[in-house]
Structure 1
């Protein structure tokens, strides 16, 4: 007969292994607050730019995107060299001061195009250093086997903020304009700054010694990312998802809905179903942990998402399109909640931020290129044809992922 005293310690130990550290939960609360502030600010910036016409709006968006893409690899190298936490503290401090100065300028000067473009440049440069450091923090705060649950919880929070950020931004801009949005952003940066100063990463690694130039450090991050047997196919799958899956709903669905006469409400239902599918998968992983081998499930998730996009292309009406949207969300959710933790877990400790920079760069370049290409193809042929092309590519890349033995058989982050 087993005594209670024999079983309780093992159960407590198991609970300790699965419980997310308080340091991560505090950091996550700060990050989600910052995401909310950014959502409001980006809406306000875009709204102010749209007052000056499409050319200025496009210029402001480019002012954010261009420096971010150009400096991402350098930002990752800096983070690995001087520590991600220091980069985040410096970035939050800079953005806090910038947000206060922008609020004052917008209050006194209004929103001239030069001010909006300058604001876009500052945000883009800050993102180039902030995003790689922030992306590496979960690995520094939780154990490898906790990464799927930690990142899934972050994804759920991000989805909720994305859904509420637009309406909240609209209300705030109507009440206080860009100046008010900048002040709200400053408050969130101040909150995150305080948390980062108090936090001490539990699994952090010493910063890399500056033995080479930043450019060489940055290129070494690219070399490591694309020479690693698991990272290489993982990054290729991520790029394919960014280029052929992510544009389907925001870019192609409105065009398809107009062509099929589903109306704006019908398109909204499809987007809502997709979000529901992603959140459901993420919550399941938060509750139960990873569902199995992460590489195998990531590739399978892309295959499922590709089938959902295929169903969207052939959907006879709003009901069928909504079901297809749910399938897309489930597939995309399975891919995301397993691929992102896998990339973090297998990355060498010396290159955590640099590989995150490569990951963000792959996604950004694929999205920039394919948004323009797919939009033009839809105009030349038809939205349904382009949706079916995306379905074929996404499903095909999922099959290629299943064919990659290092990716398919990897069990990193799974408890034996």
Structure 2
């Protein structure tokens, strides 16, 4: 396989939302995310049909185990082999697994074991897929467009959540779980040729150097040298010369090089350790990870299990809860659209910190609103502020991290959000049973607000800016 590499500076100045290369990546990502949404509908329906509610719940939860255990290793794989190759391989495996289960369900009634196996496969592949997906935008556009790409990615996620559910339900209604699994596999398959057609930038390090460098301590150089080869050398040398291309190609517009990683001297474990040291020593990334962790821990419980219990307590019913969730989705979509259109917000660290703080106040207020209409308004505000802070934090991760470490940086962030934060859901449910919704929502809001305090109190994070 060969990949087309865009020389640094070749695409600078072209807005991401008008760049056909970025739009091809976005179409691939959107198709894959819609396929994921259909897959979850199919899995939940098939599990309920094949077993008891408890067994269905176990099947739905089993994918979280390999995802959490293998996520950090997935970041190493993304950095060693390149994010696009890893995403393509992950989508091929997920497509094949989904279509295989679709065929099995069409031919026979095998019980729960193939569904549990499929969930394990998806969870394992997700551990590799998620860090690679997070590292890929830096290879398809310039640093000054990464914030806009985060907004576009947020819009794709919202679109997938709105379209995927009804599409999956329609497939189940027309052809059962087998048809839904087949549709999910085909949607994921669509992303593969699109990703193959995406041109890859050789490195974003050059953009970073032109912008004045990163915020890492001087001591990071030692860690970078430890992992430069292990990360595929993408952060070790600027320009096309990093792949041994002639000087004319390094200065020119486009070069084509084999899609393979250079030889390395480090082990995967050494790469992982180097990545963790890099994050720990970084003056922006280290506190940013803490802010993200606190924000997610305080946010996930109330907006998932807590909202269900609140709706039941207030007599809003399932329809009322649906309207509240819609308000949240509209707010988050508006934040993603804002970043897509603007491309860059000044004082990103400041804005992210205050958005987390204001969002935490709105989360606490959600437990005390008098009716559904007011709850929808507060949820819209929560979605707007959480979507804004989340997009800015994601953009800061993208722009502050050296591309050679971006897979591992994304893996740590994903582990915090998808591995640790969901642990707050059973704790929130138990706490609400003991103390009621009001105190638990306020306590969760306080935890979330601590993330904003971290962002505002750490000078380098507070002063962090997005390139523009």
The alignment's TM-score, normalised by the length of structure 1, stands at 0.91
Question: Relative to 1, partners in 2 of residues 1:99 and 1:321: Cα closer, same or farther, differing over 3 Å?
Answer: closer
Alignment of 1:63-142 (within 5 A): 63-142=62-141
Alignment of 1:28-47 (within 5 A): 28-47=26-45
Partner of 2:190: helix, strand, or coil?
A: helix
Q: Which ranges of structure 1 fall in alignment gaps of 5 or more residues?
A: 1-12
Q: Which ranges of structure 2 fall in alignment gaps of 5 or more residues?
A: 1-10, 205-230, 234-262
2:111 paired with 1:57 = no
2:428 paired with 1:377 = no
Q: Deviations over 1:160-182 (max 9, x none)?
A: 22122222211211222222122
Aligned equivalents of 2:354, 2:108: Cα separation in 1: 53
Aligned to 1:258: 312
Partner of 2:388: helix, strand, or coil?
A: helix
Aligned to 1:244: 298
Aligned to 2:450: 396
Q: Deviations over 1:228-272 (max 9, x none)?
A: 111111111211222111332221112112212233333222222
RMSD: 1.9
Aligned to 2:333: 279
Indicate if the aligned counterparts of 1:277 and 1:327 stay in contact, CA closer than 8 A: yes
Partner of 2:200: helix, strand, or coil?
A: coil
Q: Deviations over 1:11-45 (max 9, x none)?
A: xx996356553211101101101111111111110
Alignment of 1:141-290 (within 5 A): 141-204=140-203, 207-208=232-233, 209-290=263-344
Q: Structure 1 residue aligned with 2:46, among 41, 45, 48?
A: 48
Aligned equivalents of 1:100, 1:268: Cα separation in 2: 31
Indicate if the aligned counterparts of 2:16 and 2:141 stay in contact, CA closer than 8 A: no
Indicate if the aligned counterparts of 1:221 and 1:358 stay in contact, CA closer than 8 A: no
Q: Deviations over 1:128-170 (max 9, x none)?
A: 1111111111111111111111110110121122122222211
Question: Relative to 1, partners in 2 of residues 1:18 and 1:138: Cα closer, same or farther, differing over 3 Å?
Answer: closer
Aligned equivalents of 1:217, 1:393: Cα separation in 2: 32
Q: CA deviation at 1:402?
A: 0.8
Q: CA deviation at 1:108?
A: 1.4
Runs (4 or more) in structure 1 with deviation over 6 Å come to: none
**Matched length:** 402
Indicate if the aligned counterparts of 2:290 and 2:454 stay in contact, CA closer than 8 A: no
Bigger helix share: 1
Aligned to 1:23: 21
Indicate if the aligned counterparts of 1:141 and 1:204 stay in contact, CA closer than 8 A: no
The alignment's TM-score, normalised by the length of structure 2, stands at 0.82
